[in-house]
Amino acid sequence: VTRAAEELSYVASPEASRLAGGASTRVAVVVPHLSRWFFGALIEGLESVLREADVDVLLYHVGDADDRHHFFARLPARRKVDALVLLGLPVDDDERQRLELMGVQITAVGGQVASYPYVCIDDYVAGRQAVDHLLFLGHRRIGMIAGNDPDQPGWPVAVGRTEAYHAALREAGIPARDELVATVDWGGDLGAQAMDRLLSQREPPTAVYAHSDELAVGAMRTIRRAGLDVPGDISVIGIDDHPVSELLDLTTVRQPVRDQGVVAAQNLLCRLRGEHADDAVTLPTQLVVRRSTSPPRPRPDVAGRPT
Amino acid sequence: VTRAAEELSYVASPEASRLAGGASTRVAVVVPHLSRWFFGALIEGLESVLREADVDVLLYHVGDADDRHHFFARLPARRKVDALVLLGLPVDDDERQRLELMGVQITAVGGQVASYPYVCIDDYVAGRQAVDHLLFLGHRRIGMIAGNDPDQPGWPVAVGRTEAYHAALREAGIPARDELVATVDWGGDLGAQAMDRLLSQREPPTAVYAHSDELAVGAMRTIRRAGLDVPGDISVIGIDDHPVSELLDLTTVRQPVRDQGVVAAQNLLCRLRGEHADDAVTLPTQLVVRRSTSPPRPRPDVAGRPT
């Protein structure tokens, strides 16, 4: 019965006419994390453009699988929004069907989702910029701390950044070693734990590529607590250019986060007005060299041994 | 003419009847910063309770004085919200009058505003916990990095944290020294600049109390770049317990940020239902000792000299 009622409510509320009718336009922003810088900066960009256009921004935080079910089952249909922006949030087939029944504009930001228009970075390129920098510096034993949200398996952001690592090593003729990869949920404290794992080997990596700056910051803490030097003993590189990275001298690959929100909102407004907008926008990333990376220092105990 | 129209629209849209009428309840969340952890965590707490109650959350980011004018002049009246939550956002007399003409519930979170119901911490107590800890460790030359948003002069959060510093020193019989206080806008890079100023003296402080962890993190960078040790040469303490603080071993005074959002939303829902809720809620803070503070190390060149 509940399911039937839910489905009915979807069919009963297409909202494409709001814009034309002069009623206030409303955009739902759906986000998995609010207290992380990345998502706050994305929302800041989105909101600045939408507010300027006098559009209402409705915020939906869907933190875990339960939240997501609740959201997809109930909220959008009742609230009569004109468009929906998914921030770093993948959807499964069932959820996609529900979204499409709403008949509203859907946009993805900070990661591609299904076949919806998107604005994001090229995660493979960003990852290559990071790993290629470590290879250029002369590192051959390169570890990876990979981000993985258990509620979002197969998230293309993580997939692209992981592929970049394997491709860069392969091209450099370096065999893959499973023990040099630690996969954890996103978040600084988990980066610290991942680094614990990488250090619990007889020959730890001389450089670590982390999928995000927060993971990299956690890794740096573990390295320093072990009495080792960054970058003297182990180089660390992240992706993001989080505000804290400049303060910690973390070498990273900068992505324009606020701008992704701005462009997504601009394109969404175009589509709502019936104008053309690019469906696939990829903003460029760039290496920012600071002091957490350097060429590897030969270690007396392993010098000359093949890696 | 614009002003008259604006004022008319205010009077024309009191919205107290929405709840009773069964229409969806809508709460406007007004916030000066979205990409800072503090505000993201507050919104996360608010949103979790409001979503559970099936309330729509409309987000308004008002970053500077222009945004604020725009917001207060136009948005609330047109959008017909049932309540408004001010997150760390002071209002002047004119803005207060406009808010009151709307006739909706107003709540402040993360700082007291006018005479609206609020949920926050006691900033004086938090500041005393920080400065008293430095005094207990034996510091007598204590610097302060004070936060000050130029768009929000007289913000009670900064006032309370500043008063705590002066009162603690006074009680300890230590004369105030203007050159030990650096006031900057909130933000890590500005904490670094403030520390530059504190270090440009013949006798810098042996300990620094920063109004926030982000300011403290910036200060630590400057200290380390000067070739000095934290806490060996200079102790640093902040306020917040920002997620990065644990990773950086920063001693701080923890405030429950998400909880402030949760309690504010719960109390707001009570008021919207006509039930009683406390108008003044102060949540406790606590010292979190990590490795950025220690007793002062006697310096050869100043030993024995009165401070």
Residue A231 to residue A209: CA distance in whole angstroms: 13
* pLDDT, position B134: 98
The mean pLDDT of B28-40, rounded to a whole number, is: 92
* pLDDT, position B125: 98
- The per-residue pLDDT string of chain A (307 residues; one tens digit each, 9 = 90 and over) reads 444 444 434 333 333 333 334 467 899 999 998 989 999 999 999 999 999 898 999 999 988 778 888 788 775 555 578 999 999 888 888 888 888 888 889 999 998 888 899 999 999 999 999 999 999 999 999 999 999 887 777 788 999 999 999 999 999 999 999 999 999 998 778 999 999 999 999 999 999 999 999 999 999 999 999 999 999 999 999 999 999 999 999 999 999 999 999 999 999 999 999 999 999 999 999 999 999 999 998 766 554 554 4
Q: B interface toward A at CB cutoff 8 Å?
A: 24, 29, 33-37, 39-41, 43-44, 47-48, 51, 54, 56-61, 63, 75, 78-79, 187-189, 192, 217-218, 220-221, 243-244, 246-249, 258
Query: Residue B299: which pLDDT band, with cuts at 50, 70 and 90?
Result: low
In 3D space, the residue among A306, A304, A262 whose CA is nearest the CA of residue A283 turns out to be A262
What is this model's ipTM? 0.85
- What are the backbone angles phi and psi of residue A148, rounded to the nearest 5°? -155, 115
* pLDDT, position A167: 98
* pLDDT, position B236: 98
Residue to mutate among B61, B213, B258, with most A CBs inside 10 A, is B61
Q: What is the DSSP letter of A65?
A: H
Chain A partners within 8 Å of B75 (Cβ):
51
User: A281: how many CB neighbours lie within 10 A of its CB?
Assistant: 17
Chain B partners within 8 Å of A37 (Cβ):
35-37, 40
- What are the backbone angles phi and psi of residue B253, rounded to the nearest 5°? -110, 115
Q: A interface toward B at CB cutoff 8 Å?
A: 24, 29, 34-37, 39-41, 43-44, 47-48, 51, 56-61, 63, 70, 74-75, 78-79, 187-189, 192, 217-218, 220-221, 243-244, 246-249, 258
Q: Which two tokens stand for residue B98?
A: 């406009």
Q: Which residue has the higher pLDDT, A76 or B92?
A: B92
Among B47-51, B67-71, B166-170, the minimum mean pLDDT is found in B67-71
Chain A partners within 8 Å of B37 (Cβ):
35-37, 40
Q: Which residue has the higher pLDDT, A300 or B9?
A: A300
- What are the backbone angles phi and psi of residue B217, rounded to the nearest 5°? -65, -40
Q: Is A59 helix (H, G, I), strand (E, B) or coil?
A: strand
* pLDDT, position A79: 57
In 3D space, the residue among A11, A9, A4, A283 whose CA is nearest the CA of residue A122 turns out to be A283
Query: pTM, whole model, 2 decimals?
Result: 0.87
Cα end-to-end distance, chain B, whole Å:
63
Tens digits of residue pLDDT in B139-177:
999 999 999 887 777 788 999 999 999 999 999 999 999
Q: Is A280 helix (H, G, I), strand (E, B) or coil?
A: strand
Residue A60 to residue A77: CA distance in whole angstroms: 13
- What are the backbone angles phi and psi of residue B89, rounded to the nearest 5°? -135, 110
Three-state SS for chain B is CHHHHHHHHHHCCCCCCCCCCCCCCEEEEEECCCCCHHHHHHHHHHHHHHHHCCCEEEEEECCCHHHHHHHHHHHHHHHCCCEEEEECCCCCHHHHHHHHHHCCEEEEECCCCCCCCEEEECHHHHHHHHHHHHHHCCCCCEEEEEECCCCCCCCHHHHHHHHHHHHHHHHCCCCCCHHHEEEECCCHHHHHHHHHHHHCCCCCCCEEEECCHHHHHHHHHHHHHCCCCCCCCCEEEEEECCHHHHHCCCEEEECCHHHHHHHHHHHHHHHHCCCCCCCEEEECCEEECCCCCCCCCCCCCCCCCCC
CB-CB contact of A137 with A216 (8 Å) = no
Q: Report the mean per-residue pLDDT for chain B.
A: 87
Residue A188 to residue A210: CA distance in whole angstroms: 11
Q: Is A184 helix (H, G, I), strand (E, B) or coil?
A: strand
* pLDDT, position A75: 57
Q: List C-alpha distances in Å: A204 to A163, A180, B54, B268.
A: 21, 8, 50, 53
- Check CB contact under 8 Å for B44 and A29: no
**Cβ-Cβ contacts under 8 Å for A113 (sequence gap 6 or more):** A86, A89, A90, A91
Q: Is A20 helix (H, G, I), strand (E, B) or coil?
A: helix
Query: Residue B294: which pLDDT band, with cuts at 50, 70 and 90?
Result: very high
- What are the backbone angles phi and psi of residue B164, rounded to the nearest 5°? -60, -45
Q: How far is B167 from chain A (nearest CA, A)?
A: 31
* pLDDT, position A300: 60
Residue B181 to residue B197: CA distance in whole angstroms: 9
Sheet of B235-240: strand order equals B181-184, B142-147, B207-210, B235-240, B251-254, B286-288
Residue B140 to residue B153: CA distance in whole angstroms: 29
Tens digits of residue pLDDT in B187-241:
778 999 999 999 999 999 999 999 999 999 999 999 999 999 999 999 999 999 9
* pLDDT, position B11: 34
Which chain B residue lies closest to A218 (C-alpha atoms)? Answer: B247
Q: Which amino acid is at A51?
A: R
* pLDDT, position B21: 42
Q: How far is A303 from chain B (nearest CA, A)?
A: 31
